[in-house]
Structure 1
Amino acid sequence: MANITIRPRRSEDLEACLEVLQKVYKDSGYPVNGPSLPFLQGPQTLVSWVATSPCPDSSQPSSNHRVVGHIALATATDTDVAVNLWRSRNRPEPVFVLQRLFVDPAAQGQGIAQGLIRAVVDEGRRRGGSVVLFALIKDQVAMRLYEKLGWTEFGTAIFGEGKGEGVEMEAVCYVAPDERSRQGSEEH
């Protein structure tokens, strides 16, 4: 992750995030309903981060960076399939949701997603809860990434626009590794 900075997202980052999200959508079809500012500004969002890298043609060493990735931590809602499944298993602790993770296709493979995920998991732990997410079955690359990082699958659910109306897709639900398992995997 050479020269990549992960920092809290600022309002002036939104247009650049949307531009990256449009590239991601063209490349992978994420997000399912298309890129939009409302998608980036979900009402349950607690905090968002961006990954930035220096612009290659910049003569100014640190002031001219471009957004190459994004992630958010959100409060749990009853409309999130991973949250519903997690709560149905009688898990009483607070739960947060990893959302809105994307990396510019031209910048993938540099560890950017891993750094962004670490920021979300650390913040969820700091707030005293577990972090969950769901990945659509069609997003095999994302699923492999979460599994490589030690996330545990805890079930499947149907993601969709509701009650047989609209698009429904199977999703795999994951929970972030706890601190002990994360430390063990970092030691190997």
Structure 2
Amino acid sequence: NNFLPKDVCVNGVFSVSDNFDARRTATARRYRYLILNDKRPTSLWRDRCLWVRDELDILAMKEAANMLIGEHDFSAFRSSHCQAKSPRRRISGIELDHRHHWLSISIESNAFLHNMVRIIVGTLLDIGRGKIDANQMKAILSSGDRKCAGITAAPVGLYLVGVRYPEVHKIPYQCGDWLVIQ
């Protein structure tokens, strides 16, 4: 780890076959977005979380997030630079954990489109701020139109916390429990 960039850390090494491809072999990925929801920013977490000073309606955000679970066409949540052949993705879970002034949004999917997590989080934040009604999430999803979704949230605060592989590769699924709000 001494030779790696400061934001990269190796937690384990596993033997795999020669045809193993870390990106294409994965069956699921989990991202976590960390948000400080407070009137004041923090110097310690400044470059590690998104700071949102607005009061958020967490229940509305959870209600809207649950509408994204399942297999859908996520065209409304993809960047114009996305090169994916198909916009269909399967979200297996979305969790919003709100404690004190911290909010973490975890999303697990079989795959993600370019900026998909950031656009989902931006849309959920717009819902939390009352700019978009939670009931509109299904309409946004079915529209397939990027202009209907919310802003693209900044990249600060976004973490890849887990990658799942088929059991044949014997790679344990570690889900970034270190990034849990206490």
**Relative contact order, CA 8 A, sep 6+: which one is greater?**
2
- TM-score, normalization: structure 1? 0.28
